[in-house]
A and B are shown apart, each in its own frame.
Chain A
């Protein structure tokens, strides 16, 4: 007993010292901000166990409104002005490591505990706009870490896009987008301040904007617009709870549709940045998106084994295509909008009627999942986990051409009809560009600046 009391006295002494030190500073410190100071702590240290899928002790920290509510104990979680009557404060500040939160983890630092105490003391106020907004969406955005200066090993190429003039190819990197000269594979530029993974890159029609979507698996979904020429950040959309797999401009470049692991599809107005349509119709990740050529409809591909078509103006669901019976990875339209295409884990590309979702045909020959599509006019190009890129004719559903040379699963594909170039990227980080006319390789390179096989071998 006496032993623990001595410890407590010591602790009080420390706290007093800290307090005194604060009091000695210049002016009274600015009030604690929930969104800037408190929410990041909850998000980083509590959300894993106190937010779906885990809701331990019946207590959730998903939003401000929820974290103010008591858990199973029914003791007040936060009592404004009174840390001692706040279960959250009591639990993060107690000595007993078996009872203290976060459970089975390092305790919060004295500074973090102090921030929460002061916030409660000051009234536990909410300084954001919507108390029911996910904490992840209200915490201040941070600049992302820099990419590796020189890669010590390649990273998988998960996104590819040709610039509208076909001269450049944008590709996913680690914490960056890399831009390469399409003719010779020379690195043109690097765009940083990007989350760990990039799953989608897309240019608007005039090439003035590059939409980059990705995030940190299981933790963050990020969508940003960059100026592809100078790499400046133009706009940042609210973060999602898990990665965003796809962001695509409508043909006019006025709208941006996104879809990701939170199962939602969102359509933003590019100029204002406002979310105009929210579609929560898929039961699993949304992995692929495509606008109809007239920009009126949006097609989706989901791991829930369906491909769907929505009215892009109001989000109304139009038709559902369930023919794959397996996860669907990507969608596209024929140039005349008469056919929709979808690619899936059934190792096939299906063609179907966008009016009634009736199946019109299928393109086979793949050995594994078909992961991405590129369509233009009457051409359908696709890439597969079987390392191949194939081109099919709409007529007769026959294979027309095979682009060879990749040595690992082909994750991303891009096609530039005017220049006749096809590009695909693989798990091994290789980007290969072919001439669509004769299928000959134009260039191939590892999309990892500074990487060289010789260096890696050492």
Chain B
């Protein structure tokens, strides 16, 4: 068929799909969900009758002029619920000469001690305040005043003057990570252009953000902002830097750290308290930056007032210079007509998943059908579709335990090990250019064996991370071949085994996370002694470890000690291989990252979305959708020998995994709590194998044994256009995100009239011709194609349309090809559901 003819053919086929040859369960594959619950509600706070009230802080000190304290008033009710009553409570100072009250904020007035009476809902609390040192004002701190304000106003954010080249010729360090650079830029650079020591108000640093002088960044400051006075006073005081012995901020405290609010309650004031090395505690709410992890659920304003918009959870991120803390908020509401139907719990996975759904009033979908299950579990566990005979046998099986039996069988199949080796091959960047052709095969065989033998995950990590020797004799040593230098080792290891994307901290403190530049190079200190040299074979490399060698932090020039996240500096003997110590820490069952990251990765693979999503991006500002689900899976994993098959079995046997993708009115807008199966396009390799399965025509890959499937490829070096179009990663990075799941026009063209699909549909030895040759009827062949492509029998209507089309096609083979082609282009085939 020439191109013109094929185009006509394609057009005809498309029309056929449209007229309904294929009945697609449209709801099952639709991701379009109407938002129903988005509008913010501004009900006035109904105080009701709290059982008691609580005021935070219970007592405090204002130890310098200008310090202040936000009070948070919380009502506790008999039913266990709480409500923020700060804005409606009466707050009165017992002595205005000592402390003055404005709203719920207490300001110092004069030295002394007094009480602040807070009353609301028939309750009263007395908060004691001590005011001292009012006679001498502290000079404005450069670090904790000026730089905090410039951060709060957004001046030094990445899109503005914090970008590496600055904006408008004015560059500050991103989120003030480098005060030494900033003092230079603000004061001495450009011949003192930006600050005016003689007339502080005339400073460009103030006039630009006020928009008194044209400013590309627009208006960023008002004279009424607390930050204006800080900046002006700092300039007036001579643009001083902090003395070397000035107290430093040691920790940031956020209150409340977590809160569950049931509508009508849906607002919460959050305060930020900075603890300093001199023991003082300062309310820095006005200088801290607030952001919400999910703006659709809750927003937070510059003053730390959180407003819930929808059912769900959001982490409120509070940043004060390099200190970051979060406040976890959950917003609930009574959904009209909602009734929890207590679906059966197959195991602890369901227990945790359903508990969250019940709390959020989201009703899970029904159990999926056997047809849906068999297709889903084959694709997820071994990457390929079942043969029609396998499907038919499963559907016919009357054993009530057949799903669990199938799970057990699939986990033992050789394709399982090969499919999961493909997944890890991506993460370990196995490709010719990185580890040579010979290296690819050796490394892939090691990976396949690890999955086949169910190598415990701690052993798996240890083999990779502590590898030495020849990359040919000891394939895991390729870990240090693909990671060619210390920084690559730091970033790869952090992302793969800790779920931390630490790359940002290479050049500056992480802008959204707690990781600092020191941390980055502290992790590097575990890897910098790893050395690489050529082996005997020209393709081979030998990994060895030098006895000594230290990492220098490039900005400060300091030599870094090995450092472990949330643990701190590791005390290690001067010489030797430090990687052992890293692995010892990593694989301890109580390690807060290791087990969670892997169970989340497995979950993400099986559900198309991690409990933490993206699966390798664990951070305070990206909380898990169910912390208890994640930790219960991780605990079970860590306490049972890091058995990955056990994790998969637990998940696959859960009702949560086996829920239908068809939604109900109570879970239609849920995307992250696993109340229904998540429809998604098959991966590139799954799709190619599925096309081969349906047509019965295998794909040949140059240099690989015939019969090799796409889901068994050792590396992407086969260079198949179809695979690239559907998102096969080039394995350049260790990020799971490199595998693209975006859909695009090229994909549609590949499916509608691409040479690969066309060739297989027309192949002289394909399934439909073999069936015809074997004397099968149209009905039998159509049913076989349905079973192969969709793991179900054709419905009566579908069968009638298909056979009528074949009868009218003029040429039986053309008619059968049309049906086969239409099936391959059906969403029900293209999607996992």
Residues of A within 8 A of B (CB): 47-49, 51-54, 104-105, 148, 151, 153, 155-156, 158, 174, 196-197, 199, 216-219, 243, 245, 284-285, 303, 371, 385, 409, 411, 427
Interface segment among B209-217, B491-499, B542-550, B724-732: the answer is B209-217
- Nearest chain A CB to B231's CB is how many angstroms away? 16
List, in ascending order, chain B residues with CB within 8 A of A371's CB: 191
A52, B214: Cβ atoms closer than 8 Å:
yes
The docked-state distance in angstroms from the alpha carbon of A54 to that of B196 is: 24
The docked-state distance in angstroms from the alpha carbon of A47 to that of B207 is: 14
Q: Mark B181-200, 1 if CB is under 8 A from A, else 0.
A: 00010011001111011110
Question: Which bracket fits the contact residues of B?
Answer: 20 to 34
List, in ascending order, chain B residues with CB within 8 A of A148's CB: 198
Q: Which residue of B lies closest to A243 (CB)?
A: B193
Given A148-B198, A199-B191, output 17 extra A-B contacts at Cβ < 8 Å. A48-B212, A48-B214, A51-B214, A53-B216, A54-B216, A54-B218, A151-B198, A156-B191, A196-B196, A196-B199, A196-B202, A197-B193, A217-B194, A218-B214, A303-B169, A411-B192, A427-B187
8 tightest CB-CB pairs across the interface, nearest first?
A53-B216, A218-B213, A48-B214, A156-B192, A217-B193, A217-B204, A158-B191, A174-B198
List, in ascending order, chain A residues with CB within 8 A of B211's CB: 48-49, 104-105
The docked-state distance in angstroms from the alpha carbon of A385 to that of B194 is: 16
List, in ascending order, chain B residues with CB within 8 A of A51's CB: 214
Given A104-B219, A153-B198, is A158 in contact with B214 using a C-beta cutoff of 8 Å? no
List, in ascending order, chain B residues with CB within 8 A of A243's CB: 193
Tell which of B192, B213, B218 has the most Cβ of chain A within 10 Å: B192
The docked-state distance in angstroms from the alpha carbon of A285 to that of B168 is: 11
The docked-state distance in angstroms from the alpha carbon of A385 to that of B191 is: 10
Tell which of B191, B199, B207, B213 has the most Cβ of chain A within 10 Å: B191
A427, B198: Cβ atoms closer than 8 Å:
no
The docked-state distance in angstroms from the alpha carbon of A158 to that of B196 is: 13
A427, B192: Cβ atoms closer than 8 Å:
yes
Q: Which residue of B lies closest to A371 (CB)?
A: B191
List, in ascending order, chain A residues with CB within 8 A of B188's CB: 385, 409, 427
The docked-state distance in angstroms from the alpha carbon of A28 to that of B211 is: 38
- Nearest chain B CB to A408's CB is how many angstroms away? 8
Q: Which residue of B lies closest to A303 (CB)?
A: B169
List, in ascending order, chain A residues with CB within 8 A of B213's CB: 48, 218-219
The docked-state distance in angstroms from the alpha carbon of A409 to that of B169 is: 20
**Which of the residues A49, A54, A218 comes within 8 Å of B204, measured between beta carbons?**
A218
The docked-state distance in angstroms from the alpha carbon of A174 to that of B214 is: 23
B169, A284: Cβ atoms closer than 8 Å:
yes
Tell which of A48, A49, A104 has the most Cβ of chain B within 10 Å: A48
Q: Does B139 contact A (CB under 8 A)?
A: no
List, in ascending order, chain B residues with CB within 8 A of A409's CB: 188
Q: Which residue of A lies closest to B168 (CB)?
A: A53
Q: Which residue of A lies closest to B239 (CB)?
A: A427
A153, B238: Cβ atoms closer than 8 Å:
yes
List, in ascending order, chain B residues with CB within 8 A of A54's CB: 214-216, 218
Residues of B within 8 A of A (CB): 168-169, 184, 187-188, 191-194, 196-199, 202, 204, 207-208, 211-216, 218-219, 238
Q: Which residue of B lies closest to A284 (CB)?
A: B169
The docked-state distance in angstroms from the alpha carbon of A73 to that of B196 is: 39
The docked-state distance in angstroms from the alpha carbon of A319 to that of B694 is: 69
Q: Would you call the interface of chain A mostly helix, strand, loop, or mixed?
A: loop
The docked-state distance in angstroms from the alpha carbon of A385 to that of B208 is: 26
B216, A158: Cβ atoms closer than 8 Å:
no
- Nearest chain B CB to A174's CB is how many angstroms away? 5
A155, B219: Cβ atoms closer than 8 Å:
no
List, in ascending order, chain A residues with CB within 8 A of B197's CB: 153, 155-156
Q: List 18 A-B contacts (CB under 8 A).
A: A48-B213, A48-B214, A48-B215, A49-B211, A52-B214, A53-B216, A148-B198, A156-B192, A197-B193, A216-B202, A217-B194, A218-B204, A243-B193, A285-B169, A303-B169, A385-B184, A409-B188, A427-B188
List, in ascending order, chain B residues with CB within 8 A of A216's CB: 202
Tell which of A51, A54, A174, A196 has the most Cβ of chain B within 10 Å: A54
Tell which of B197, B198, B204, B208 has the most Cβ of chain A within 10 Å: B198
- Nearest chain A CB to B166's CB is how many angstroms away? 11
Tell which of A47, A153, A199, A218 has the most Cβ of chain B within 10 Å: A218
List, in ascending order, chain B residues with CB within 8 A of A196's CB: 196, 199, 202
Q: Which residue of A lies closest to B238 (CB)?
A: A153
B214, A47: Cβ atoms closer than 8 Å:
yes
List, in ascending order, chain A residues with CB within 8 A of B198's CB: 148, 151, 153, 155, 174
Tell which of A52, A151, A409 has the most Cβ of chain B within 10 Å: A409
A53, B214: Cβ atoms closer than 8 Å:
yes
Tell which of B188, B197, B202 has the most Cβ of chain A within 10 Å: B188
The docked-state distance in angstroms from the alpha carbon of A63 to that of B214 is: 15
Q: Which residue of B lies closest to A53 (CB)?
A: B216
The docked-state distance in angstroms from the alpha carbon of A165 to that of B390 is: 105
List, in ascending order, chain A residues with CB within 8 A of B212's CB: 48
- Nearest chain B CB to A49's CB is how many angstroms away? 6
- Nearest chain B CB to A15's CB is how many angstroms away? 29
List, in ascending order, chain A residues with CB within 8 A of B199's CB: 196
Q: Which residue of B lies closest to A152 (CB)?
A: B198
List, in ascending order, chain B residues with CB within 8 A of A199's CB: 191
List, in ascending order, chain A residues with CB within 8 A of B214's CB: 47-49, 51-54, 218
List, in ascending order, chain A residues with CB within 8 A of B238's CB: 153
- Nearest chain B CB to A145's CB is how many angstroms away? 10
List, in ascending order, chain A residues with CB within 8 A of B193's CB: 197, 217, 243
The docked-state distance in angstroms from the alpha carbon of A442 to that of B187 is: 29
List, in ascending order, chain A residues with CB within 8 A of B191's CB: 156, 158, 197, 199, 245, 371, 411
- Nearest chain B CB to A214's CB is how many angstroms away? 10
List, in ascending order, chain A residues with CB within 8 A of B192's CB: 156, 158, 411, 427
- Nearest chain B CB to A409's CB is how many angstroms away? 5
The docked-state distance in angstroms from the alpha carbon of A208 to that of B238 is: 37
- Nearest chain B CB to A111's CB is how many angstroms away? 21
The docked-state distance in angstroms from the alpha carbon of A156 to that of B191 is: 8
The docked-state distance in angstroms from the alpha carbon of A148 to that of B169 is: 31
A218, B196: Cβ atoms closer than 8 Å:
no
List, in ascending order, chain A residues with CB within 8 A of B218's CB: 54
List, in ascending order, chain A residues with CB within 8 A of B215's CB: 48, 53-54
Q: Which residue of A lies closest to B202 (CB)?
A: A196
The docked-state distance in angstroms from the alpha carbon of A357 to that of B204 is: 36
List, in ascending order, chain B residues with CB within 8 A of A52's CB: 214
The docked-state distance in angstroms from the alpha carbon of A197 to that of B216 is: 23
Q: Which residue of A lies closest to B196 (CB)?
A: A196
The docked-state distance in angstroms from the alpha carbon of A444 to that of B207 is: 34
- Nearest chain A CB to B216's CB is how many angstroms away? 4
The docked-state distance in angstroms from the alpha carbon of A148 to that of B197 is: 13
The docked-state distance in angstroms from the alpha carbon of A449 to that of B212 is: 31
The docked-state distance in angstroms from the alpha carbon of A285 to that of B193 is: 13
- Nearest chain B CB to A367's CB is how many angstroms away? 12
The docked-state distance in angstroms from the alpha carbon of A195 to that of B199 is: 13
The docked-state distance in angstroms from the alpha carbon of A49 to that of B218 is: 8
List, in ascending order, chain A residues with CB within 8 A of B219's CB: 104
The docked-state distance in angstroms from the alpha carbon of A217 to that of B193 is: 6
The docked-state distance in angstroms from the alpha carbon of A196 to that of B198 is: 10
- Nearest chain B CB to A43's CB is how many angstroms away? 11
- Nearest chain B CB to A194's CB is how many angstroms away? 14
The docked-state distance in angstroms from the alpha carbon of A285 to that of B212 is: 22
Q: Which residue of B lies closest to A448 (CB)?
A: B198
The docked-state distance in angstroms from the alpha carbon of A362 to that of B169 is: 26
List, in ascending order, chain A residues with CB within 8 A of B196's CB: 196
Q: Which residue of B lies closest to A427 (CB)?
A: B188
The docked-state distance in angstroms from the alpha carbon of A176 to that of B131 is: 46
Q: Which residue of B lies closest to A48 (CB)?
A: B214
- Nearest chain A CB to B826's CB is how many angstroms away? 48
- Nearest chain B CB to A203's CB is how many angstroms away? 21
Q: Which residue of A lies closest to B208 (CB)?
A: A218
The docked-state distance in angstroms from the alpha carbon of A236 to that of B52 is: 75
- Nearest chain A CB to B212's CB is how many angstroms away? 7
The docked-state distance in angstroms from the alpha carbon of A221 to that of B189 is: 19
The docked-state distance in angstroms from the alpha carbon of A104 to that of B211 is: 10
